[in-house]
Structures are given as C-alpha cells and as structure tokens.
Amino acid sequence: MLKIGDKAPDFKLFNSEKKEVSLSDYKGKNVVVLFFPMAFTSVCTTELCTMRDDIAYYSGLNAEVLAISVDSPFTLAKFKEDQRLNFPLLSDFNKGTSKSYDAYYDEFVMGMKGVAKRSAFVVDKEGIIRYAEVLDSAGNLPNFEAIKQTLNSLN
C-alpha cells in the first residue's frame, strides 16, 4: 500500500489524444492523480466534472490534474469531449498503473474484473506522495477539500 512520503510510481500511459504521457513529464509541478472506475458512469462523471469546474483553483496552485481509468483511449476521448473535461484522461488499459498505486479492484460490479478503484493522490514537485486516498466504495467521491489543503501546504 502506498503512503504519504513514498516516491510515486512513474507511469507511461496514452491519453485520449493517443499521445504517451508519463508522470515524470510533470516534474517541477504538483500533480493530482485521480483513478476512476469507468467513463460515463454517474459518480465518475460527477468526480471529473467537479475537477473540471475547479481547474482554475488547481492551476493557481501550480498543480496539474491527471485522471486515469482502464477505459480505452477512444472511450476516454468521447467522455472527455462529452463532458468538456479540461485535463488529460489517461488509459491504463493494461492495468499496470492501477496495480502499482494499489488502486485496483480484482472484481468489480457485474462480474467485471480489473477496474481502477476511485482514488486520489497528490504528488509534489519532486515526485513524492503528499496525499493518498483509495476508496473501497466506488460510490464515494474523493475528499476534494483535503486535496486542496494538501496542495495549499505545498506552496
């Protein structure tokens, strides 16, 4: 289980524009890494639209937002377009990143296997985890206030 003070596992994933993105691309910035179970579901839509609507706040704290699910880049592109999301959506289709962050359901609803757990991590400019929240219930949202407080403390 990852905890505060651990080095955040780096990753290379394709975004919804089919370009490779890695966590190390963001060195020197604080990053909010969100894992979400599935595009087009109600709670995931609420979560990501909450981030969308608050993006100026995060930008003001020198923070980038990256959202990761096991959906394909094509599904994520449609979801991003439909919801007008203003931050990268990354495809962990092969599930390695979700596993490395301990943000992974072996078994999800309707017999689906290998879905990202709703989780939030704040990674500082040096790549160290400063906030970690992995939710067991996909129906819960991350603690957005705690994420903001953590980012405020880093500036």
| Burial profile 9-48: b = 16 or more Cβ within 10 angstroms, e = fewer | bebebbbbeeeebebeebeeebbbbbbbbbbeeebbbebb
Q: Which of 21, 33, 39, 44 is catalytic?
A: 44
49 is catalytic: no
Residues with a catalytic annotation lie at 44
